Amino acid sequence: MAGSAPGRDAQADDFSAPASAEQLDRAIAALRANGFTAELLDDAAAARARIKDLIPEGAGVFTGASETLRLSGIAQDIETGDRYQAIRPRVLKMDRATEFDEIRRLMATPDVLVARVAAVTETGSLVIASGSGSQLPASAGGAARAIWVVGAQKVVPDLSTALRRVEEHALPLETARAQAVYGQPSAVNRLLVLNAEPQPGRATVLLLREAIGF
């Protein structure tokens, strides 16, 4: 994990460098104006602790595939033990040929989604890229509550820069990960842009002052 300083310039092309304090403040203000609950936290450890406050015990929680959640320990907290009804470990054990409908329903409409995004704009939009689209229904509105944990390097000025970040930065890194884990490259087959949250209290963005994930 990289530290939070120094912040990069708004127009810089280094998509791995954390945003400046001013960029983070603009993104938080814009997210709140667009109906998201947005919190600015120091680091992944703070997000890991905050997640425990936000999710009630016994909730059905779907964790999207995410380096941010893995590196922070959030995925481990949710997917092990008996505090929550973790959906990802359950569906990984199910037969996709005979239980696909049940898998689809479990992933699309959890009590809580905890996931990452590919970019957050300073104008208050979230950009989520996916190869399979499996976590997009929950993000778009299927989950009763959604929580996104976002590293400081994912803040960009606008939507066009966000899309460029997906193609030029996130996709090559995700492809390398997918090749190592699954033996095949990733792809941006589906893109979801959340410009606002119409349901008060449904969507929370935990924006960190440090970089984590990709």
Q: What is the CATH number of the domain that holds 136?
A: 3.40.50.10420
Mean pLDDT to the nearest integer, 176-192: 89
In a domain, 213, yes or no: no
Q: What is the count of structural domains for the chain?
A: 1
pLDDT tens, residue by residue, 72-104: 999 999 999 899 999 999 999 999 999 999 999
**Mean residue pLDDT across the chain:** 93
Percent of the chain scoring above 70 in pLDDT: 94
Nearest to 134 by CA among 96, 190, 78: 190
In a domain, 185, yes or no: yes
In a domain, 176, yes or no: yes
In a domain, 16, yes or no: no
Q: Burial level of 182, CB count in 10 A (0-12/13-18/19+)?
A: exposed
pTM exceeds 0.85 for this model = yes
Mean pLDDT to the nearest integer, 182-187: 86
Rounded to whole angstroms, the Cα distance separating 160 from 174 reads 20
Instruction: State the pLDDT at residue 52.
Output: 96
The tokens for 106 are 């479990």
In a domain, 5, yes or no: no
pLDDT tens, residue by residue, 142-173: 999 999 999 999 999 999 999 999 999 999 99
DSSP letters for 20-36: PHHHHHHHHHHHHHTT-
Segments forming the whole domain that contains residue 80: 21-208
With 80 as the cut, is the pLDDT of residue 11 above it?
no
Instruction: State the pLDDT at residue 1.
Output: 37
Q: Confirm if 205 and 148 have CB atoms less than 8 A apart.
A: yes
Q: How far is CA 30 from CA 12, 39, 51, in A?
A: 21, 12, 22
In a domain, 188, yes or no: yes
In a domain, 136, yes or no: yes
With 80 as the cut, is the pLDDT of residue 68 above it?
yes
Strands 190-194, 126-130: pairing kind? antiparallel
pLDDT band at residue 185 under the 50/70/90 scheme: confident
In a domain, 9, yes or no: no
